[in-house]
Amino acid sequence: MKKFKIGIVGSTGAVGQEIIKLLEKREFPASEVRLLASPRSAGTEVEALGERRTVLETTPESFDGLDFAIFSAGSDNSVKYAHEAVKRNCVVIDNSSAFRMDPSVPLVVPEINPEALEEHQGIIANPNCSSAITLMAIYPLHRRFGLKRFYASTYQAVSGAGAMGPISLDQEVTEMVTGAPVPNALPSAFPHPIAFNLIPHVDTFREDGYTKEELKMGNESRKILSLPDLKVSCTCVRVPVYRAHSISINAEFVNNVNLPDAIQVLSSFDGLDFVQNLNENLYPMPVFSSEKENCQVGRVRVDHASDNGLAFWVTGDQLWKGAALNAIQIAEEMINRNCLRKIF
């Protein structure tokens, strides 16, 4: 089997570390893994695919000879280096928001719209974590009933705010339980206490009262599903959970819905586990979705407040399906389709 050279930009960050872990777990056919990061992290040694490897500073020349580069170092670095990588015949899979709404860049969840990869011009965008997890449950229902609109409320883990998210939660819990301040406590990642609290504020607010995170749900869903007129309303909430996001969804469809068909399509969809046994209190929860490749869906029921509506609950690991795993699946799908250099 042919092997490929892959670079990881942001290899010392939370998502970068998960990419390294998943490349090994999924036995990705890599002949070289090149670890790239900022000058501050360059020189660090990291365990990757059974070897100690030295992290290199990201420069335009870092991409020479690579087949793929997965970017997980923020939008600024993606804008700075992605096109430099493409110039060197390296396919970029970008985890930031830099290129998601660029009409020339495919925005891909491989279980949903893999055919979009055939039209790439060197850069492929990974969706926002909440969008990817939400659509894993919505898409099979859309195929069966025809999606008209949906409402979503996200319950997003603190690790989605970066490395400081779990640290902030730990510090606050310790202070509340012990009654004493944490020595050398770091500034919180959140604008309000997160321990034993919910914060209805993820990302920055716009003039219309929505946050950028909330608008991503609609914009990205319309692009991935090829439904330009899809109506979406979303509220994003940060919750005191370490890992894995949860989303409550109320979706309305064009065609008449029924539970047996809904359960059948959800149960048979690749990458999704149907988890529901109400007599045994069995339903998706973030604690059971952490470090799982599949998302979980359950609490499926007819929506009493809309015509042809279904209400359901989905959970997924935002570091995996919402970022690292989806990026690797994109690379795997491109290999299977033999479309790495079809366009650019």
Residues annotated as part of the active site = 129, 245
Cα of first residue to Cα of last residue in the chain, in angstroms, is 24
β strands within the chain, DSSP E: 4-9, 30-37, 45-48, 51-54, 56-57, 68-71, 91-94, 123-125, 147-156, 231-238, 245-253, 272-274, 295-302, 309-316
3-state DSSP call for residue 145?
helix
* Alpha carbon distance 185, 101 (integer Å): 38
Structure tokens at 144: 């069966």
Dihedral angle of Cα 37, 42, 47, 53, to the nearest 10 degrees = 110
Q: For strand 295-302 and strand 309-316, is the pairing parallel, antiparallel, or unpaired?
A: antiparallel
Burial grade of 158 (CB within 10 A; 0-12, 13-18, 19 or more): buried
Interior/surface letters 116-142, b for 16+ CB within 10 angstroms, e for the rest: bbeebebbbbbbbbbbbbbbbbbbbbb
Whose tokens are 């202070």? That residue is: 175
* Alpha carbon distance 202, 313 (integer Å): 20
Distances 59 to 5, 53, 110 between C-alpha atoms, Å: 17, 18, 29
Whose tokens are 């919505």? That residue is: 138
Structure tokens at 30: 């890599």
